[in-house]
Amino acid sequence: MIENRPWLTFASHATLLVGIGLVALPVWMALVASTHPASAFGVGHIPLWFGDAGVETWGTVLFEEAGNGVDTPVWFMMLNSLIMALGITFGKIVISLLSAYAIVFFRFPFRNLCFWIIFMTLMLPVEVRIVPTYEVVANLDLLNSYTGLTLPLIASATATFLFRQCFLSIPGELVEAARIDGAGPWRFFFDILLPLSRTNIAALFVILFIYGWNQYLWPLLITTDDAYYTLVMSIKRMLSVTDGDIAWNQIMATTLLAMLPPVAVVIGMQKLFVKGLVDSEK
Amino acid sequence: MTDVILEKVGKTYPNGYHAIPSVDLTIEEGEFIVLVGPSGCGKSTLLRMVAGLESISTGELRIRGERMNEKEPAERDIAMVFQNYALYPHMSVYDNMAYGLKNRGMPKDQIAEKVSDVAQMLGLTELLQRKPRQLSGGQRQRVAMGRAMVRDPKVFLFDEPLSNLDAKLRVQMRVEIRQLQRKLGTTTLYVTHDQVEAMTLADRLVVLNKGKAEQIGTPMDLYNKPATPFVAAFIGSPSMNLINANLTEQGIKISDALTLPLSHQHRGSIVWGIRPEHLEVSDERNADFALRIQAVESLGAETLIHGKIETASGDGEPLVVRLSGPHLPDVNSLMWLMAPAQHWHLFDEKTQQRL
């Protein structure tokens, strides 16, 4: 990889450019489409350059109700999405940190069994257990609430596993040094364990935030009140109009908006994310 | 004043493994005790039991007269230096040293004062804001010691603290540890497998073998009067020549052809020992026996000669001789040796005790 071969450099760059083009094209098309009037799509050809309705469309999307049967403005749905995504992310991180802490550092009977039971829940994502979960949430009167949106998604076997591996790599002597230094379980957790798993937390934050933000099925099921609609599910709602034209331009603008927060999180935390996946500072 | 007392302290692991049957040890205040032994002899386990990191299965541990068996490590007023230093990687040198004091609720200005005192003593003042990964091995070692010293504990515990350092630094730190301990006058328990370290540091040595204290005494006691062949072989480098022999009326019968005259009331199988440095080169007339030379190691200041005691059949016992200065005898030649009787060590083969 160190040798200098011009054609190799050219070929690899060309491959990368084609790849970028393929990935970016739909985004580009969405951006372009949001600047044409809604009727432009009905004609049958897809425009590849900006139209003249951009200001109007974006103005509508940003400041008025989203339309097409969704009576809340986009920014409000973004707020809902954000609350749900952050709730899920923080909930997952806190719970899996605590469970991994218990599994790795405390000796109690059936410790390993506990871990494997947690691990087995990997086989039971929301989609599989959706009916019983819905029933539980409904019985608890949590439909149409933020708690209902986040709580059932909060347990995470993946994150527990990741933190377990991270904690296992912490040398035993460090734990003993802390014991001699008079750090109790909580002190040890906050003063030593948390700072040492900082990069892992950051990496998980990125993954889990995107997971939470992109939740579709669950919010669709348990929210019937406009006040709790999330952005991703609303895009689908905006599509299902019984009569009249689908406002493709508005949908595209909304889609772009829905992409922004995950992109921002990835870009903002890129460094920590890579660090968390690649090295361990220990 | 006695500081630390181990009374019949033993350790049995839950799986039934008997790591330490029973150890008795009384440590005076300010004493530097070194626990030494081959790997797996239980020396680290014993240290960790004193630290409170391992539970004590039987017996009692007392520090300043107070029973410690059930106390948490933090309540025992001890400080420990680990082999890999175990510094908190995300904390600065200052925070590493201050952490224990902070947990004890000491006021901030007092902590700052203590840390800067110790940092000055160890030459760490310039490094206080660095992270452990920015330090060299020797500096980390120093921080680990600083972390222990800053607490001003009753007992220092060292678990092979120098084994991760290179040879030159090890010698330097060894001297430094000794000086610091003298200056602070803190009772110290030090674990090592390196007998040179053990000999140079210790006020008293405890030689452990399979969880048992083979002998406890000053380094010179152990060198001059080892209680068992194990101690004899362990202390001193190169280790003592130990040869199975028979004690008869004529003396020590090493082989059919070789008997060293000695009048002793003991009879039967014994282990005869002599240190390599106590064998002397002589001429054929005065010599006790001849050595067939097999290998020569010249170290400049001294020469180690490996060979076998010359017998008719050629299957004599292997022996090492240590001569001062450079010597270059031919391999396979004969060397006449004298073994002065005042340097002999005799052990009963059955009881493994000194005669």
- Report the range out of A7-11, A17-21, A29-33, B351-355 with the highest average pLDDT: A17-21
| Interchain CB distance below 8 Å, A187 and B100 | no
Q: Among residues 35-54 of chain B, which lie with CB inside 8 Å of chain A?
A: 51-53
pLDDT in tens, B78-89: 999 999 889 999
CATH number assigned to the domain comprising residue A85: 1.10.3720.10
| Interchain CB distance below 8 Å, A180 and B51 | yes
A23 domain residue, yes or no: no
pLDDT in tens, B39-73: 888 889 999 999 999 999 999 999 988 898 899 89
Distance from CA of A154 to the nearest CA of B (A): 29
Q: Identify all chain A residues contacting B164, using CB atoms and an 8 Å cutoff.
A: none
A5 domain residue, yes or no: no
With H, G, I as helix, E, B as strand and everything else as coil, classify residue A211: helix
Give ipTM to 2 decimals. Answer: 0.82
**pTM for the whole thing?**
0.80
Please compute the mean of the pLDDT values over residues A230-243 and round it to a whole number. 76
Q: Among residues 281-340 of chain B, which lie with CB inside 8 Å of chain A?
A: none
If pLDDT is split at 50, 70 and 90, which confidence band does A282 have?
Answer: very low
Flag whether pLDDT at A244 surpasses 70.
no
- Report the range out of A28-37, A271-280, B12-21, B255-264 with the highest average pLDDT: B12-21
A65 domain residue, yes or no: no
Q: Identify all chain B residues contacting A187, using CB atoms and an 8 Å cutoff.
A: 103
Between A and B, how many CB-CB pairs are < 8 A?
Answer: 62
> Could you tell me the end-to-end alpha-carbon distance of chain B, in angstroms, rounded to an integer?
33
B355 touches chain A (CB under 8 A): no
Q: Compare A132 and A278 and report the one with higher pLDDT.
A: A132
| Interchain CB distance below 8 Å, A173 and B79 | no
Burial class (CB in 10 A: 0-12, 13-18, 19+), A66: buried
If pLDDT is split at 50, 70 and 90, which confidence band does A277 have?
Answer: low
Q: Identify all chain A residues contacting B53, using CB atoms and an 8 Å cutoff.
A: 176, 179-180
Range in A268-277, B166-175, B346-355 with the lowest mean pLDDT = A268-277
pLDDT in tens, A85-110: 999 999 999 999 999 999 999 988 99
Q: Compare B59 and A58 and report the one with higher pLDDT.
A: B59
- Closest-CA residue of chain B to A184: B103
Q: Taking every pair of C-alpha atoms in chain A, what is the biggest distance, in angstroms? A: 76
Sheet with B78-81, strands from edge to edge, namely B78-81, B155-159, B187-192, B32-36, B204-209, B212-217
If pLDDT is split at 50, 70 and 90, which confidence band does A67 have?
Answer: low
Distance from CA of A193 to the nearest CA of B (A): 10
pLDDT of residue B224: 92
Distance from CA of A281 to the nearest CA of B (A): 8
B256 touches chain A (CB under 8 A): no
Flag whether pLDDT at A217 surpasses 80.
yes
| Interchain CB distance below 8 Å, A187 and B103 | yes
Residues of A engaging B, defined by a Cβ cutoff of 8 Å:
171, 173-174, 176-183, 187, 191-192, 195-196, 198, 281-282
**Residue partners of A220: CB distance under 8 A and separation at least 6:** A233, A236
pLDDT of residue A218: 86
| Interchain CB distance below 8 Å, B103 and A181 | yes
Flag whether pLDDT at B262 surpasses 90.
no
Please compute the mean of the pLDDT values over residues B314-326 and round it to a whole number. 87
Q: Can you say whether residue A280 is alpha, beta or left, with left for phi > 0 and alpha for psi between -120 and 50 degrees? A: beta
- Closest-CA residue of chain A to B132: A282
Flag whether pLDDT at A281 surpasses 60.
no
Distance from CA of A87 to the nearest CA of B (A): 28
A36 domain residue, yes or no: no
| Interchain CB distance below 8 Å, A177 and B80 | yes
Cα A200 from Cα A197, distance rounded (Å):
5
A15 domain residue, yes or no: no
Flag whether pLDDT at B254 surpasses 60.
yes
A251 domain residue, yes or no: yes
Backbone angles phi, psi at B347, to 5 degrees: -130, 140
pLDDT of residue B99: 93
Domains belonging to chain B, first-starting first, are 2-234 (3.40.50.300), 241-348 (2.40.50.140)
Residue type, A54: G
B100 touches chain A (CB under 8 A): yes
With H, G, I as helix, E, B as strand and everything else as coil, classify residue A106: coil
Distance from CA of A208 to the nearest CA of B (A): 25
pLDDT of residue A102: 93
pLDDT of residue A65: 65
pLDDT of residue A235: 81
Range of the domain at A108: 72-278
pLDDT in tens, A172-196: 899 999 999 988 899 999 999 999 8
Question: In chain A, how many domains are there?
Answer: 1
pLDDT of residue A96: 93
A24 domain residue, yes or no: no
Please compute the mean of the pLDDT values over residues A223-251 and round it to a whole number. 77
A64 domain residue, yes or no: no
- Report the range out of A125-129, B45-49, B164-168 with the highest average pLDDT: B45-49
If pLDDT is split at 50, 70 and 90, which confidence band does A69 have?
Answer: low
Q: Identify all chain A residues contacting B83, using CB atoms and an 8 Å cutoff.
A: 173
Contact assessment for residue B49 and residue B35, using Cβ atoms and an 8 Å cutoff: no
pLDDT of residue A1: 55
pLDDT in tens, B188-242: 999 998 888 999 999 999 999 988 889 999 999 999 999 999 999 998 888 999 9
Cα→Cα distances B263→B247, B251, B341, Å: 9, 6, 11
Contact assessment for residue B219 and residue B225, using Cβ atoms and an 8 Å cutoff: no
